[in-house]
């Protein structure tokens, strides 16, 4: 009996010992979880605990459609993204976005080491994938403002709207220097001039926050939960491809590369940008950056031609070139298996893997993800807020460029002399260009300013008290066309049912006197024009239909049909102002003689009211061309300073009212 009674006692002791041991393991102090420890100490501690598979998993970014909470846990995946139009459901609410993001994040947190993931999205002109978000003008329009403070405020507003959906990483800004408007991404570029692009990198502290005084250069910085990690893209020279063909080769000497395409990256890194995106070609490591380098969508697939022809080689080339995180975005197992084999066979050194993971973790610790990995609903009311829409409307007003302003009568000698003085003053103060631009623009001055822009009868600003006006054109009442590509979907949309905002037509209608009759016809025929006359004036709004990337490459740069025909019919019958909604300069010279007023509105986004604000004189025209407006496509590529420079409107041109 005594012997038998000892078994329960011994078993109890063993069980208690096991529980004590288990408790000791659970209570083990882990430096990487301690926010009081220096960042580098936390990174070193975490990496010392990681297996090779966990490290390679951190180098993977998957689209949300290819990820699950289980995959995030089992493979220690480093990041998820929403590609263009990849949403929880059409017109999803911020709360639905937050739930989706947190479901993925809980998967990551349940992994062995609980390393949180980053969620990325293309918020390139506001939180443009999301229903009811504020959509700001595309970068080409912001370049026309020459207003870095405005762009910084747009960055801050975008960060709040992105955080409203639980997301913490944006693939923006694009700091490409577009040197050929035939490129389908030219609207993502602020300017053909690297100096303007440098100014606009001020969006980075808007997105991420101002780096603290005395911070070392090149170190990523994200200043709190109301900010997001940014991504400067696409390193380097993507805007200089031959014939403007997307993903084509950029043929340029070293001086040109460093003086035209590289300065935006220097300034982005100085301002603490967290990541840099490589284009769809081979790259080299950006040594001064301490954040991480991420590939573009299926970027390594396109290292070979045709894409994915030799995926094993592409993985090797991409890793050795210095890419740290790979936007795969659908198949993680092939990448992981191939890279694991390279490391185990000493083809890729472990030091390259450690370097990549160290950079990724540095950004995650900087973002505070280990302390606050889950999104909350504190910023839900920021999505599409009135304050942000007011800011977008301001941006639209400042981005408009007045190219022609003709009057019925000719001014006297004194009037013309004063206009020349205004012209000279404007370019000295606003254009930020070399004095050479004054000489280049003299033909335009003579043709469009001295002869046309006279105070006695200039058509702009338009009268609000007209009896009857005509609004015509494919882009006058189309929110999708106003916003362009990268809006709700990758390629953009047609119509007014996909987001919220004000069309140019609705802005015009609300701006004029209540007694003014506004007639709208998208494509009026001769019978309509004849039966409804007289009109005091007409506003014709035409341009390009939405596109993105390769789908926007164009060798002719013509207005979308029936735009040219609408201009000819309406402006041939009624004194007209033509508003061009486009992502770049387009062919317009053949129609100039018929046009009284010509306005470049770029891709203004959801707040079309901003166009009406300036057309009717509540605010003046102050925008200047961020890129050269060519006469015909045979001149391309043509940029300010070229020996063959003979533009229709030069870089920096823009009338003021």
**Catalytic residue IDs:** 296, 549
Locate tokens 């263009």: which residue? 84
3-state secondary structure of 48: helix
Locate tokens 């009857």: which residue? 468
Spatial distance between the Cα atoms of 27 and 551, rounded to a whole number of angstroms: 56
Q: Where are the beta strands (DSSP E) in 503-567?
A: 517-521, 537-543
Nearest to 283 by CA among 269, 293, 297: 293
What would you report as the CA-atom Rg of the chain, rounded to the nearest whole angstrom? Answer: 28
Residues counted in the chain: 657
Spatial distance between the Cα atoms of 239 and 279, rounded to a whole number of angstroms: 11
Nearest to 402 by CA among 205, 581, 164, 599: 599
8 Å CB contact between 453 and 407:
yes
Spatial distance between the Cα atoms of 26 and 115, rounded to a whole number of angstroms: 17
Determine phi and psi for 517, rounding to 5 degrees. Answer: -90, 120
What letter would DSSP give residue 578? E
8 Å CB contact between 99 and 111:
no
Cα dihedral value 148, 151, 155, 157, nearest 10: 130
Cα separations in angstroms, 358 against 245, 312, 335, 361 = 36, 24, 19, 5
Spatial distance between the Cα atoms of 468 and 422, rounded to a whole number of angstroms: 33
8 Å CB contact between 584 and 190:
no
Strand order in the sheet with 79-82: 169-170, 118-121, 79-82, 60-63, 326-327
Nearest to 249 by CA among 259, 238, 257: 238
Is 503 exposed, middle or buried (CB count within 10 Å of its CB: 0-12, 13-18, 19+)? buried
8 Å CB contact between 98 and 165:
yes
8 Å CB contact between 479 and 598:
no
8 Å CB contact between 323 and 253:
no
Please, what is the end-to-end C-alpha distance for the chain in angstroms?
A: 108
Spatial distance between the Cα atoms of 422 and 411, rounded to a whole number of angstroms: 15
Cis amide linkage into residue 209, ω under 30° from 0: no
Spatial distance between the Cα atoms of 220 and 46, rounded to a whole number of angstroms: 19
Cα separations in angstroms, 539 against 85, 130, 358, 479, 505 = 33, 31, 56, 17, 9
Spatial distance between the Cα atoms of 343 and 43, rounded to a whole number of angstroms: 21
Cis amide linkage into residue 321, ω under 30° from 0: no
Cα separations in angstroms, 151 against 205, 399, 431 = 10, 11, 18
């Amino acid at each position: 009996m005594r012997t038998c009674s000892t078994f329960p006692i011994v078993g109890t002791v063993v069980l208690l010992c096991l529980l004590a041991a288990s408790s000791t393991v659970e209570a083990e102090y882990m430096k990487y979880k301690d926010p009081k420890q220096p960042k580098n100490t936390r990174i070193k501690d975490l990496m010392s605990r990681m297996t090779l598979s966990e490290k390679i998993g951190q180098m993977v970014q998957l689209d949300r459609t290819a990820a699950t909470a289980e995959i995030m846990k089992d493979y220690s995946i480093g990041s998820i993204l929403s590609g263009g139009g990849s949403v929880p459901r059409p017109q999803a609410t911020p709360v639905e976005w937050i739930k989706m993001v947190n479901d993925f994040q809980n998967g990551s947190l349940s992994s062995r080491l609980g390393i949180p993931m980053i969620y990325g999205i293309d918020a390139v002109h506001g939180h443009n994938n999301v229903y009811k978000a504020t959509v700001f003008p595309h970068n080409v329009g912001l370049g026309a403002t020459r207003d870095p403070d405005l762009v910084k405020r747009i960055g801050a507003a975008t960060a709040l709207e992105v955080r409203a959906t639980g997301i913490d990483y944006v693939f923006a800004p694009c700091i490409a220097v577009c040197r050929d408007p035939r490129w389908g991404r030219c609207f993502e570029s602020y300017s053909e001039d690297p100096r303007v692009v440098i100014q606009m990198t001020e969006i980075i502290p808007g997105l991420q926050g101002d780096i603290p005084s005395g911070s070392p250069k090149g170190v990523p910085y994200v200043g709190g939960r109301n900010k997001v990690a940014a991504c400067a893209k696409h390193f380097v020279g993507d805007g200089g491809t031959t014939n403007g063909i997307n993903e084509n080769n950029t043929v340029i000497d070293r001086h040109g590369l460093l003086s035209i395409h590289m300065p935006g990256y220097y300034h982005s890194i100085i301002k603490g940008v967290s990541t840099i995106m490589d284009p769809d070609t081979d790259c080299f490591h950006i040594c001064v950056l301490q954040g991480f380098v991420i590939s573009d969508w299926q970027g390594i697939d396109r290292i070979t031609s045709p894409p994915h022809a030799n995926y094993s080689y592409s993985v090797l080339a991409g890793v050795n070139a210095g890419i740290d995180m790979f936007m795969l975005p659908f198949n993680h197992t092939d990448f992981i298996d191939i890279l694991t084999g390279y490391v185990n066979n000493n083809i890729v050194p472990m030091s390259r893997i450690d370097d990549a993971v160290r950079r990724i973790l540095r950004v995650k610790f900087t973002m505070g993800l280990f302390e606050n990995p889950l999104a909350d609903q504190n910023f839900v009311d920021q999505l599409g807020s009135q304050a942000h829409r007011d800011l977008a409307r301001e941006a639209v007003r400042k981005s408009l460029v007045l190219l022609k302003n003709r009057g019925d009568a000719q001014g006297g000698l004194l009037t013309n002399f004063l206009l020349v003085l205004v012209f000279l003053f404007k370019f000295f103060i606003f254009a930020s260009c070399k004095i050479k631009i004054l000489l280049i623009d003299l033909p335009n001055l003579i043709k469009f300013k001295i002869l046309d822009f006279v105070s006695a009868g200039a058509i702009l600003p338009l009268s609000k008290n007209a009896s009857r006006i005509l609004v015509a054109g494919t882009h006058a009442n189309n929110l999708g066309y106003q916003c362009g590509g990268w809006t709700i979907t990758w390629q953009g949309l047609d119509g007014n049912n996909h987001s919220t905002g004000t069309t140019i037509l609705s802005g015009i209608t609300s701006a004029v006197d209540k007694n003014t009759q506004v007639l709208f016809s998208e494509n009026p025929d001769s019978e309509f024009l004849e039966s409804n006359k007289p009109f005091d004036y007409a506003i014709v709004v035409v341009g390009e239909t939405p596109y993105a990337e390769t789908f926007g490459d164009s060798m002719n740069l013509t207005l979308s049909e029936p735009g040219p025909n609408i201009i000819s019919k309406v402006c041939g019958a009624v004194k007209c102002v033509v508003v061009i909604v486009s992502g770049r300069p387009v062919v317009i010279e053949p129609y100039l003689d018929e046009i009284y007023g010509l306005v470049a509105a770029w891709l203004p986004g959801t707040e079309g009211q901003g166009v009406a604000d300036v057309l009717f004189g509540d605010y003046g025209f102050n925008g200047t061309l961020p890129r050269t407006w060519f006469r015909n496509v045979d001149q391309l590529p043509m940029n300010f300073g070229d020996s063959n420079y003979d533009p229709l409107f030069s870089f920096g041109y823009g009338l003021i009212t």
